[in-house]
Amino acid sequence: MSDHGSQAHQQGQGRRPRILFLNRVYPPERGATGRLLRELAQGFAAAGWSVDIVTGAHGKPGKGDNAPAAEDGPLRLHRFRAARRRTWIGTLFDGIRMTLVALRQPRPDVVVSMSDPPMAAAAGDFVARWKHCGHIHWCQDLYPDLLPHLGVQVPGAVFRSLQKRHGRVLRRADKVVAIGRCMARYLINNGLPAGKISVIPNWPEHDLMTAGSAGRKAASKRKTAGTSVRPYEELLQDRVGEEKFRILYAGSIGRAHPMDTILDAAEILAEENPEIEFVFVGDGPGHEALAQARARRGIETIRFLPWQPAARLRDLMERGDLHLVSMKSEVAGMLVPCKIYSALAVARPVLFVGPIHCEAAKILTDFRAGAVVPQGQTALLVQTIRHFRNNSREWFQARKGAEDAGAVFTAAESIPAWIKRAEHVADLASFR
């Protein structure tokens, strides 16, 4: 619907259209889904929508199921008390509490459920039917199918029951937004009608798209004042004067992001090409496990930086000559790593260590923005890294491809597409 159509819709309703988002994570808690949610919700608010968000709070004073709504600019936040540990019981209660808090909110025109907790789709379905409004499920991760590949053991009968339940929920939704073409194919192959699905890619952090080094440095000072995070300039100062070819991995290392092939390649390159270094930025159990593996193997060319605030990311990521993205082959179609969009936003070639038939691989091949190496093919990964290290022409061509791709996968493209889908669903719901 055009802007004129959106205004006509608002006038016909006699009020601003209202949208309700459901997701466990929201800033300042870290997490890609929370960051994406906030930026999308701000886009809806700027387009004239009234926006409510039901999200988790982790036992902080003054927050929880009975806490009054908080405000994040024009957005209203309604907190439920989320489980401290991600267990099956905690996930179950997160879904129940999310539903109860959502039911207490004014009737929306559209409710948007996300994938955290895995029961959020069912919560969105229940709220939409109870309040007679439209329902869109934003499929960031495909649960429950993803669970076994993350090492979560679910009894066979329970798993099949969850799959059937989730399938029914998605078929009842007015729209399912998949974040990649491979995810859309997976959903269709598992019985979801193609007409239910819209493919809208994710996008990189707003700060990565901010032009101008001076502006970014000023933003960094504002956002990090009073924090104890050491700037990357200080952490890398011992490398000044050395000619390093830097391979950068920025973000979380989860169970869907295996590191064995990368570690094996780093070990080989440390012996023969010590000028090639691997830098991992972030924190959490995955980074700790990788640091332990580095110590056991004695790989001196692997370095670690702690998590950095978003305002520092662009300057940091531009220091990477190649960006690493890793994904299990078995989870193709069930998720799309957001790291690829961040790398493309800073016009850096990407090495994707994962399946050749998935969204991330197709983006890189379509735009010639890097290379794809299947998991387990250590020799090919070493060869590919050396190729980019020693062939400046190929590197610059891949950099140009990354720049072209980065201009396509942006919030400016995805958020208007989202608003258009929501307006259509709201119009459908108005006839119920």
How far the first Cα of the chain sits from its last, in Å, is: 20
- On whether the CB atoms of residues 347 and 406 are closer than 8 A, the answer is yes
Measured CA distances, 121 to 18, 19, 134, 214, 273 (Å): 19, 16, 13, 42, 48
- On whether both 419 and 393 belong to a single domain, the answer is no
Report the pLDDT averaged over residues 314-324: 91
Dist. CA 69–CA 72, nearest whole Å: 10
Tell me, what's the pLDDT at 219? 42
Dist. CA 327–CA 397, nearest whole Å: 24
- On whether both 95 and 236 belong to a single domain, the answer is no
- Domain extent at residue 323: 206-408
Dist. CA 263–CA 21, nearest whole Å: 39
- The residues that bridge with 142 in the sheet, in sequence order, are none
- Give every CB contact of residue 140 below 8 A, 6+ residues apart in sequence: 32, 33, 36, 114, 115, 116, 179, 202, 335
Dist. CA 426–CA 8, nearest whole Å: 13
Pairing of strands 70-72, 75-81: antiparallel
**What string of DSSP letters covers 303-338?**
EEE----HHHHHHHHTT-SEEEEE--GGGBTTB--T
Q: Which residues of 221-259 are buried (b: 16+ CB within 10 A; e: fewer)?
A: eeebeeeeeebbeebbeeeeeeebbbbbbbbbbbebbbb
Dist. CA 282–CA 285, nearest whole Å: 10
Tokens of 75: 């957005």
- On whether both 377 and 416 belong to a single domain, the answer is no
Tell me, what's the pLDDT at 193? 96
Grade residue 9 by pLDDT with cuts at 50, 70 and 90.
Answer: very low
Grade residue 154 by pLDDT with cuts at 50, 70 and 90.
Answer: confident
- On whether both 128 and 107 belong to a single domain, the answer is yes
Give whichever of 30-44, 149-163, 217-231, 239-253 has the largest mean pLDDT: 30-44
Dist. CA 412–CA 86, nearest whole Å: 34
Tokens of 241: 């004067």
Tell me, what's the pLDDT at 247? 96
Convert the pLDDT of each residue in 292-305 to its tens digit: 999 999 999 999 99
Tokens of 180: 């990649």
Dist. CA 71–CA 99, nearest whole Å: 20
Q: How many residues in the chain?
A: 432
How many domains, in total, are found in the chain? 2
- On whether both 277 and 388 belong to a single domain, the answer is yes
Domain with residue 146: its CATH number is: 3.40.50.2000
Using the predicted structure, report yes or no on whether residue 186 has a pLDDT greater than 90.
Answer: yes
Alpha helices in 69-198, H assignment, sequence order: 88-103, 120-131, 156-172, 181-189
- On whether both 333 and 237 belong to a single domain, the answer is yes
Grade residue 58 by pLDDT with cuts at 50, 70 and 90.
Answer: low
- On whether both 363 and 336 belong to a single domain, the answer is yes
- On whether both 29 and 173 belong to a single domain, the answer is yes
198 phi and psi angles, rounded to 5 deg? -120, 135
Alpha-carbon torsion 177, 410, 356, 259, what sign?
negative
Convert the pLDDT of each residue in 348-390 to its tens digit: 999 999 999 999 999 999 999 999 999 999 999 999 999 999 9
Residue 432 DSSP class: -
- On whether the CB atoms of residues 370 and 349 are closer than 8 A, the answer is yes
- On whether both 234 and 134 belong to a single domain, the answer is no
Q: Is 15 helix (H, G, I), strand (E, B) or coil?
A: coil
- On whether the CB atoms of residues 344 and 369 are closer than 8 A, the answer is yes
- On whether both 424 and 373 belong to a single domain, the answer is no
- On whether the CB atoms of residues 75 and 51 are closer than 8 A, the answer is yes
Tell me, what's the pLDDT at 92? 79
Residue 243 DSSP class: -
- On whether both 91 and 116 belong to a single domain, the answer is yes
- On whether both 177 and 233 belong to a single domain, the answer is no
Helices (H) and strands (E) in the chain, counts: 16, 14
The whole model's pTM is what? 0.86
